Amino acid sequence: MLEDLSFSINERDFVSIIGPSGCGKTTIFNIIAGLLEPDSGSILYRGEEIESLRGRVGYMMQKDLLFPWRTVLQNVLLGLEMKGVAREVAEARAHEYLKQFGLAGFENAYPKTLSGGMRQRVALIRTLIMDPDILLLDEPFSALDYQTRLYLEGVLKDAVETYNKTVILVTHDIDEAVALSKRVVVLSGRPARVKTVHTIDIDARSPIAARSDSQFSGYFHALCAELDIQTEKTPAGTTT
């Protein structure tokens, strides 16, 4: 599935991975997160070879994966329970995060009663509160409507800057990749290879501001062109 795939990520980097669907982006994430074992290859982390980053990554997917039987607060506390953090400490931290993300007052609500955007915010808090070294975001906003997505992109970018996180984002949305990332890795179709790595040099405050930056459309079209060439090479069944 994956072949000769190698890229490096700096600390506090924001890297997006784009590529045709089914090219193995989720597989890469599962390997990094330690959910799958690679047949070969290695992960170097801060200069050391490691098996996986299990327990050190924050994984967020398209589905919010909130536990339906847990309240908002209990969902947020999930990762800290796993780490064995003392209840009072964990709860204090959870309340702080919930307040910061505008979810104060919803602590005892069940996920079923929240909107999609709110649920994804809870999922983001659950990821951030564990203080992971790397955030792995697998199309986290693709199930949301455009307005909510724009809003959450802003929330994400702020949070990443506040907490100094390293982020790897898988997305189908070139627009989102350019607006959020510092670098964009373009993958080719199966077996996945790194095609090019683009450095995005937009110094905008928010993802919305980035979209009106003079360089934005240049990057956008460059990335579109990269993906277009691929669709011509492998015409059947590839969509971007």
Binding positions for another protein, rule: CB under 8 A: 30, 33-35, 54-57, 59, 61, 63, 65, 67-70, 78-79, 81-83, 109-113, 130, 136
Which residue, 20 or 111, is less far from another protein as judged by CB? Answer: 111
Give CA–CA dist 85/40, Å, rounded. Answer: 35
Smallest gap, in angstroms, from Cβ of residue 177 to another protein?
23
Quick check: 59 and 50 in contact, CB under 8 A?
no
Which residue, 109 or 143, is less far from another protein as judged by CB? Answer: 109
Residue with tokens 């915010």: 121
Quick check: 58 and 130 in contact, CB under 8 A?
yes
Smallest gap, in angstroms, from Cβ of residue 42 to another protein?
19
Give CA–CA dist 61/123, Å, rounded. Answer: 9
Smallest gap, in angstroms, from Cβ of residue 135 to another protein?
11
Q: How many helices (H) and strands (E) does the chain have?
A: 8, 8
Other CB atoms within a 10 A radius of the CB of residue 206 amount to 14
Q: Which residue type is seen at 106?
A: F
Tokens of 76: 């947020």
Which residue, 129 or 186, is less far from another protein as judged by CB? Answer: 129
Smallest gap, in angstroms, from Cβ of residue 32 to another protein?
9
Which residue, 30 or 238, is less far from another protein as judged by CB? Answer: 30
Quick check: 72 and 109 in contact, CB under 8 A?
yes
Which residue, 59 or 216, is less far from another protein as judged by CB? Answer: 59
DSSP 140-206: TTTTS-HHHHHHHHHHHHHHHHHHT-EEEEE-S-HHHHHHH-SEEEEEPSSSB-EEEEEEP----SS
Smallest gap, in angstroms, from Cβ of residue 113 to another protein?
5
Smallest gap, in angstroms, from Cβ of residue 33 to another protein?
4
Which residue, 82 or 197, is less far from another protein as judged by CB? Answer: 82
